[in-house]
Structure 1
Amino acid sequence: MPTPHETEKQHVGPQEADQPPSMSSHDAAPPAVPSRNPCCLCWCCCCGCSWAEERRRAWRVSRENKLQPLPGCEACATPSPEEVRSWAQSFDKLMHSPAGRSVFREFLRTEYSEENMLFWLACEELKAEANQHVVDEKARLIYEDYVSILSPKEVSLDSRVREGINKKMQEPSAHTFDDAQLQIYTLMHRDSYPRFLSSPTYRALLLRGSSQSSSEA
């Protein structure tokens, strides 16, 4: 003979039987109210509030759309033969040339060090920002993307520069990453730039410029 519990279970539909028992009004957990204060002030990767994550995702998508494909404004203008030759005169001339930055970034991509240029460009974008709220958001994104040890795009920075960034991130500014940007700039100059000048990519540009000059003559 079935027990009262089994009898009651027989009258419950299959969908209802699979559902967890409903909570009474006394047992129901209060609705979670997002608190902005703890997350607004933290700069690390542990922030999990949805509003902050949505804003970060929006900034990341916006920046990736601008920086990842190279058919943007930096790649649209074909450099003149004189401009291409000037890139061999100094690293500053290469980095001050939009076309030079585009070509150099493509070279860094072949060496799996494109994050150095992306970080440098992100710092330049941050320094041009005047809105403090936007500065806060971009600084957090730069930290998460290029400084955090958890990021696959982490750039190589020494401990002194990292400690300085960690302190400045308490109150981010447009110049929070100046020391780090200079260190990465120096790294690209000393390490990648000499290889770029002897690379097939740069030699092909020189040859194209030479042939263009000969045809015009």
Structure 2
Amino acid sequence: ELAPQSLGSPLHSPMPTPHEAEKQHTGPEEADRPPPMSSHDVVPPAAPSRNPCCLCWCCCCSCSWNQERRRAWQASQESKLQPLPSCDACTPPSPEEVQSWAQSFDKLMHSPAGRSVFRAFLRTEYSEENMLFWLACEELKAEANQHVVDEKARLIYEDYVSILSPKEVSLDSRVREGINRKMQEPSAHTFDDAQLQIYTLMHRDSYPRFLSSPAYRTLLLRGSPQSSSEA
């Protein structure tokens, strides 16, 4: 006769419930699989303003839509790299105005003629993009149409913030990260921190050299009493 099995024998283990049976049939590979996506995990569709072939707003994408837009922007910027409109050149600054530029950088930047002369100086130092970026930010802040703001913000990013641009301005990582966050919903003040940083850079770095430059000294001599008496 066979000896009776003990109660602890697996032959007398209770029948597993359907839930437990399902657990037992789940292999290690199936257990490691991620849970199915719920309705809340569905990736939202791209914004209607973005092109379906390219969901990024930066210039790193090589699709034809971004390339055409970049070519159009570069063509428009080539005209901006030419000398400033003649309206500034046809109205020479007064001697008092020229002297005020040495009093503070703010007075220089708030003077149309001062900006024109300072921009010409920056061009000789191959840093004209700093002034162009500052002017573009001023133009953006004056825009009220949100659709235009979105487009101008993206163009400014592509031309002055993107690391792929030949006219990239010097910004620290904190400011760049802030811009990247704000570019999800651009506003007229998306580049305020970057504009202030470039303004400070021009003030501390380029402005002192501008005051010592031959171009500025020539303007001072033209307005001095001695030069006017000699004339």
Tell me which residue corresponds to 2:145. 131
* Distance (Å, rounded) in 1 between the aligned partners of 2:139 and 2:71: 17
Contact 1:136 1:172 in 2 (8 A): yes
Tell me which residue corresponds to 2:125. 111
**Residue deviations 1:95-134 (CA, integer Å, cap 9, x gap):** 0000000000111111111111011011111111112221
Q: Which amino acid aligns with 1:102?
A: S
After TM superposition, the runs of 4+ consecutive aligned structure 1 residues lying more than 3 A away are: 35-41, 46-64, 71-76, 211-217
1:205-216 aligned within 5 A: 205-210=219-224, 214-215=228-229
Greater C-alpha Rg:
2
Tell me which residue corresponds to 2:165. 151
Q: SS where residue 223 of structure 2 aligns?
A: helix
Percent identity, aligned pairs only, is: 91
1:198 and 2:212 matched: yes
Name the TM-score, length of structure 1 as normaliser. Answer: 0.75
Tell me which residue corresponds to 2:177. 163
* Distance (Å, rounded) in 1 between the aligned partners of 2:209 and 2:70: 36
* Distance (Å, rounded) in 2 between the aligned partners of 1:72 and 1:52: 33
Which of structures 1 and 2 has the larger relative contact order (alpha carbons within 8 angstroms, sep 6+)?
Answer: 1
1:14-29 aligned within 5 A: none
Q: Which has the higher helix share?
A: 1
**Residue among 66, 76, 79 paired with 2:93:** 79
1:92 and 2:113 matched: no
* Distance (Å, rounded) in 1 between the aligned partners of 2:86 and 2:71: 21
**Residue deviations 1:75-94 (CA, integer Å, cap 9, x gap):** 33210101000000000000
Q: Cα 1:185–1:58, aligned 2, differ >3 Å: closer, same or farther?
A: same
Q: Cα 1:56–1:213, aligned 2, differ >3 Å: closer, same or farther?
A: same
Q: Which amino acid aligns with 1:185?
A: Y
Tell me which residue corresponds to 1:68. 82
Contact 1:161 1:179 in 2 (8 A): yes
CA RMSD of aligned residues (A): 2.5
Contact 2:158 2:165 in 1 (8 A): yes
Tell me which residue corresponds to 1:46. 60
Aligned residues: 183
The CA deviation at 1:54 is 4.2
**Residue deviations 1:153-197 (CA, integer Å, cap 9, x gap):** 111100000000001111111111000000000000011101111
* Distance (Å, rounded) in 2 between the aligned partners of 1:156 and 1:94: 22
Contact 1:146 1:154 in 2 (8 A): yes
Q: Cα 1:37–1:61, aligned 2, differ >3 Å: closer, same or farther?
A: closer
Structure 1: give runs of 5+ residues left out of the alignment.
1-34
Q: Cα 1:139–1:55, aligned 2, differ >3 Å: closer, same or farther?
A: same
Structure 2: give runs of 5+ residues left out of the alignment.
1-48
Contact 2:221 2:227 in 1 (8 A): no
